[in-house]
Amino acid sequence: MSDDIKKGLLGIVVDETTISQVMPEINSLTYRGYTVQELCDKCSFEEVAFLVLNGELPNEKQLKKFIKEERSNRKLSKQILKDIQKMPKKAHPMDVIRTSVSLMSLEDKETKDNSSKANMRKAMRIFAKTPTAIAAFFRVRKGKKIISPKKNLSFSENFFHMCFGKVPTKEIVKAFDVSLILYAEHSFNVSTFTARTITSSLSDIHGAITGAIASLKGPLHGGANEEVMHMMNKIKKPENALKWINNTLDKKDVVMGFGHRVYKKGDSRVPTMQKYFKKVAEIKGDKKFNKIYDIVERVMIDRKNIHPNVDYPTGPTYHLMGFDTDFFTPIFVISRITGWSAHIMEQHAANKLIRPLSKYKGQEHRKVMLLNYR
C-alpha cells in the first residue's frame, strides 16, 4: 500500500474540538479542561453531562434546571413502548436502542430544526428517554412489566429503578455514576466521528446518534465491554486464567479490553474505574472476577506490554451490579449521548462536509458487453 494512504485515518488530524483532550503522552483525559479523575471525585454524572453539553460546570441554579429538564423528559410515548414490547426478545439490545432512537425522531416536533437551540433541546430529550428505552427492553425480554421512570431519583438511581425495581446502595450507585462519567466523551473515536460525518451533510441529531449507536456496537469499540465478560466467563475460574491467557497470546488472538488506538502506555480512565470495580467486587463478595482480572492484566503487560482500556474494568463491574452482558454497551450509550450531542452541535456550528478520497485499484476502464455476450 502506498505511503500516502492513511488506512484507518491513523495519525490524521481532521478538525478542531473544544470538548475533550486525550493526552496519551501524560496519560490524561480532560473534558472542557477538567481531568476525568477530578470530575469523578467531585461531581455527579448530571454535572458532567451539563459540562460536556454546555462547556462549563453548572452552578446550583443551572444544575437544578438541567436536572428538572432531564427528569421531565424521561417518559417514552405509549407508541414507542408498544414498539419495544413487540421487538424480538432475542434481538441485541444495541439494535433495539438504535431503532428506538430512530423511532424518537418520528415523534420529535423539532427533528428537522438544526438550530443550536433546537439541537440542545433534542439532545436533552434523547439523553432523558434513551435509558427508559433500554430499561424497558431489559424488562420486556425477561417477560417482566415495564417500570416507569421516577422523577425523585437521580439519573443513575432511576436507571437501576427502571431495570430492577429498586435502587442499590450509595456505593454501587456512585460506581455506576463514575462509569458513566468515564464513558461520556472521548474525542474523535469511531462513533463520534460517525456522528460528525453524518452531521456534516447537515443531517439531524437523531440520525447522527442512530448512526453512532451502530458504530459503537462493534467489538473493536464499545462492544469490547461485553466481550470482556464473555472472556471472563470462558475462563470460568481464577485457576484457569494463566493457562487461558498464555494460550490465547500464543495463538496471536486479540484479548478484548486491552490495547487502544491512542493510549499505548495505558488508558487514563482505567485506574479510576479499576478502583470502583474493586470496591464493587468487595461489596458483592466476589473473589472470582477480581482474581481473573489481575492475572489476565499482569500477563498482558508482562508478555505484550499492552495495557487494559476502560472496557476491561467496566465489564465485570456491570456484571456484578446485575446487568445482563449484552446491556453493557447500551449503558455506554446512555452516557456517550452527551459527548456525541456536543460533537454534533460543534460540527453544525462550523460545518465542512466530510468527504475523504480513495485510491482506485479496481478494473481498468472497459466496455459493457450486452447480456447475451457475457
Show which residues are catalytic: 221, 260, 311
89 vs 265 by CB, closer to ligand COA: 265
**In the chain, count of helices (H) and strands (E)?**
16, 3
Q: Which residue's entry shows cell 468527504?
A: 355
200 vs 248 by CB, closer to ligand COA: 248
268 vs 309 by CB, closer to ligand COA: 309
Alpha-carbon distance of 100 to 138, in angstroms, equals 13
DSSP type of residue 367 = P
Q: Is the separation of the CB atoms in 335 and 52 below 8 Å? A: no
Nearest distance in Å: CB 159, ligand COA: 22
Round to the nearest angstrom and report the end-to-end CA distance of the chain.
33
Nearest distance in Å: CB 296, ligand COA: 10
Q: Are strands 34-35 and 20-23 parallel, antiparallel or unpaired?
A: unpaired
**3-class SS at 74?**
coil
74 vs 269 by CB, closer to ligand COA: 269
199 Cβ neighbours under 8 A, 6+ residues apart: 205, 208, 343, 344, 347, 348, 351
Nearest distance in Å: CB 248, ligand COA: 8
Q: Is the separation of the CB atoms in 221 and 190 below 8 Å? A: yes
Alpha-carbon distance of 267 to 27, in angstroms, equals 7
177 vs 311 by CB, closer to ligand COA: 311
Which phi and psi angles does 305 have, rounded to 5°? 55, 35
Nearest distance in Å: CB 149, ligand COA: 30
Nearest distance in Å: CB 34, ligand COA: 21
Alpha-carbon distance of 360 to 233, in angstroms, equals 44
The x, y and z cell numbers of residue 333, run together, are 450509550
257 vs 339 by CB, closer to ligand COA: 257
Nearest distance in Å: CB 254, ligand COA: 4
AA letter at 310: V
224 vs 321 by CB, closer to ligand COA: 224
Nearest distance in Å: CB 161, ligand COA: 29
Q: Is 146 exposed, middle or buried (0-12, 13-18, 19+ CB in 10 A)?
A: middle
Which phi and psi angles does 263 have, rounded to 5°? -80, 115
Dihedral sign from CA coordinates of 254, 258, 261, 263: negative
Q: Which residues here bind ligand COA, judged by CB under 6 A?
A: 220, 224, 254-261, 304, 306, 309, 311
